[in-house]
Amino acid sequence: MKLTGPQILCDSLTKLGVHHIFGYPRGAILPVYDALGKSKLHHVLVRHEQGATHMADGYARASGGVGVAMATSGPGATNMVTGIATAMLDSSPVVCITGQVSSKLLGSDAFQEIDITGITMPITKHNVIVSRAEDIARAVREAFLIANTGRPGPVLVDITKDAQQATAEFDWEGAEPKLPPKRVRVNYDQAEFDRAVELLNSAKRPIILAGRGIMLSGAMRVFEKFIRTTNIPVAMTLLGIGCFPASDPLNLGMMGMHGEAWVNTAIQEADLLIAIGMRFDDRVTGDLRTYAKNARKIHIEVDRSEINKNVPVDAALVGDAGETLTKLLPVVHVREHGDWLAHIKELQGDSAVRDIQSLPDNGHLYAAHVINDIWKETHGDAIVVTDVGQHQMWEAQYYHHEKPRSLITSGGLGTMGFALPAAIGAKFARPDADVWVVVGDGGFQMTMCELATIVQEKIKINIAIINNGFLGMVRQWQELFYDKRYVATPLVAPDFAALANAFGIRGERISRRSEVAPAIRAARASNESTLFDFRVEQEDSVYPMVAAGASLSDMIRRPSSPLVETAIEP
Ligand SMILES: Cc1cc2nc3c(=O)[nH]c(=O)nc-3n(C[C@H](O)[C@H](O)[C@H](O)COP(=O)(O)OP(=O)(O)OC[C@H]3O[C@@H](n4cnc5c(N)ncnc54)[C@H](O)[C@@H]3O)c2cc1C
Ligand SMILES: Cc1ncc(C[n+]2csc(CCOP(=O)(O)OP(=O)(O)O)c2C)c(N)n1
Ligand SMILES: [Mg+2]
């Protein structure tokens, strides 16, 4: 049967299991919108195309499936660039569909023509221009497969207007992609495997570095079995948080620049690192010349190009994390690691930074209070979507995630403005989840227009603005490294609660610690979204901190006054 290009597109998306598309229309994609209106697909009208890409990304991260964003040619497509790069850096499977001018006009600087496949070449896993209706089904099927195969990532499909105006036979079977199967097979020889097993079975001070790849692999169960068998303590990357419950005694917490002090110390003292689905980002390693010098290293990683990229390793098991751990399980020895675990426990007691909560209420509201109260009141069961900055690090330190895919954050690109739209995407992926945005006063102002999307779509998301009156993370660097010269970091903001009201969302300003928990409780009980303007201490900093490029061993610790360090969890 002959269908129009847009009908083929909509039918293909439906067959691929798509329910929601986040997008914004105009001429070069209008035939698709016309078909969308007649399809069962739900289109979410965003307020900015960057928001569409973050929503698709949030959807993908919360669901484990593929998120879909749509935009017109020219400015619509270029507005997507930041969101595509965000997805690329965090290996998130997003498919972006853009309209393009007619193929005869390509290269003529036609109205709203831009070479979006050229622009996005380095920030997509794959991109393609489709100029014939008969090629649409195959292009879309390939896009989905590539986006979510091996190491996931964004794919862009640019469809010319004439392809949207033409008709073609819809041959779904004939459009089957001729690509390798979904799961990349393990790709190492027996000698490499044996070396890894030997290292695992002989290590005295091993530590697992758990990354996002564990969740992308869906390997949480076998990962837990592996930990139970080997008794090896686990450190998490920012993006690995959630792959193993925070409450488990073997979960030590986050590593790296703002990781726990004991984790960084344990890494520096370890004799074996087992890196699983993580890519040794510079935020994780600090100065490579001094990184884990005493440790042999095993890297379990699906993307061969990550092997020996930053950190040379002794055994590289290239393949899917779940499959590789399944192969390792029967051959690793059951271990105790008693002395090593006891030593780490001592490190925890000595250098714990769980300081602020144990301070008596001194009239100041700290971001840590707010995040800790959100954690308690949501019973650690919310999906928290964070933006980028100090609040992001405090969230990682003070919200204890028990479940996979419950922290959604932009790690690699560190995109301010990510949180609010990504949370909208997450809510569509998990409509029953308690979704919270934790965002700075700076980042919120970058994409706050998406409040209107929340209202138009009638969804419930609670928003906690950690309002410190500064581009706080930048201010912190100015405090520590530029003699407190606060250039371009003090930040004027609107009255956020009044702003929320103007959008039709309940807004509340909170500046006292005693008000935080009851307000969170009320927001959870309500059917509506609530936006909180939490007025927190302005010049608080995130500790510990490894300065950019410094050794993990050189952590800047919280000055003892006025906040005292103690290991007590209240
Ligand atoms: C302000 C700021 C501060 C930060 N501070 C810190 C910090 O203190 N500590 C920290 O950890 N991070 C920090 N980050 C985040 C950091 O920049 C990186 O984004 C993060 O460390 C990357 O974590 P990852 O390697 O687990 O995830 P990703 O970058 O997503 O990498 C995942 C890896 O898993 C692999 N993979 C994918 N699928 C599979 C599979 N099926 N099987 C096996 N492997 C697979 C991928 O190929 C990739 O190599 C910070 C970010 C910001 C913005
Ligand atoms: C789009 C973008 N621009 C600039 C930066 C650099 N940057 C990182 S954190 C930060 C400050 C964030 O301020 P705010 O949103 O108020 O959060 P806070 O650090 O105060 O919690 C800036 C400017 C970025 N990450 N993303
Ligand atoms: Mg701020």
Q: What is the DSSP string of 68-93?
A: EEEE-STHHHHTTHHHHHHHHHTT--
What number of helices (H) and strands (E) belong to the chain? 23, 22
Residue nearest ligand 1's atom 12 by CA: 238
> Cα(84)–Cα(77) distance, rounded to whole angstroms?
10
Which ligand is closest to the CA of 283, given by its number?
1
Quote helix, strand, coil % in the chain, to nearest 5: 45, 20, 40
Q: Which residues line ligand 1 (CB under 6 A)?
A: 90-91, 151, 211-213, 216-217, 237-240, 254-259, 277-279, 281, 283-284, 301-303, 306, 320-321, 388, 392-393, 411-412, 414, 473
The active-site residue out of 70, 80, 125, 161 is 161
The active-site residue out of 473, 496, 503, 565 is 473
**Alpha-helical regions (H) of 250-382:** 261-269, 282-285, 321-328, 338-351, 367-377
Does this model's pTM top 0.85? My answer is yes
Q: Closest Cα partner for 424 from 391, 389, 464, 383?
A: 383
Answer whether 411 contacts ligand 2 (Cβ < 6 A). no
Half-sphere exposure of residue 349: CA atoms within 13 angstroms, side-chain side: 6
How do the pLDDT tens digits run along the chain, 570 residues long? Answer: 899 999 999 999 999 999 999 999 999 999 999 999 999 999 999 999 999 999 999 999 999 999 999 999 999 999 999 999 999 999 999 999 999 999 999 999 999 999 999 999 999 999 999 999 999 999 999 999 999 999 999 999 999 999 999 999 999 999 999 876 655 567 788 999 999 999 999 999 999 999 999 999 999 999 999 999 999 999 999 999 999 999 999 999 999 999 999 999 999 999 999 999 999 999 999 999 999 999 999 999 999 999 999 999 999 999 999 999 999 999 999 999 999 999 999 988 755 555 566 667 778 899 999 999 999 999 999 999 999 999 999 999 999 999 999 999 999 999 999 999 999 999 999 999 999 999 999 999 999 999 999 999 999 999 999 999 999 999 999 999 999 999 999 999 999 999 999 999 999 999 999 999 999 999 999 999 999 999 999 999 999 899 999 999 999 887 764 443 333 343
- 49 classed as catalytic: yes
**Residue 465 pairs with which residues in a beta bridge?**
439, 533
> Cα(320)–Cα(150) distance, rounded to whole angstroms?
8
Q: Closest Cα partner for 298 from 204, 229, 207?
A: 207
Residues in Cβ contact with 559 at an 8 Å cutoff, skipping those fewer than 6 apart: none
Query: What tokens appear for 34 in the block?
Result: 């016309």
> Cα(249)–Cα(130) distance, rounded to whole angstroms?
52
Q: Specify whether the CB–CB gap between 486 and 470 falls below 8 A.
A: yes
Query: What tokens appear for 409 in the block?
Result: 């954050």
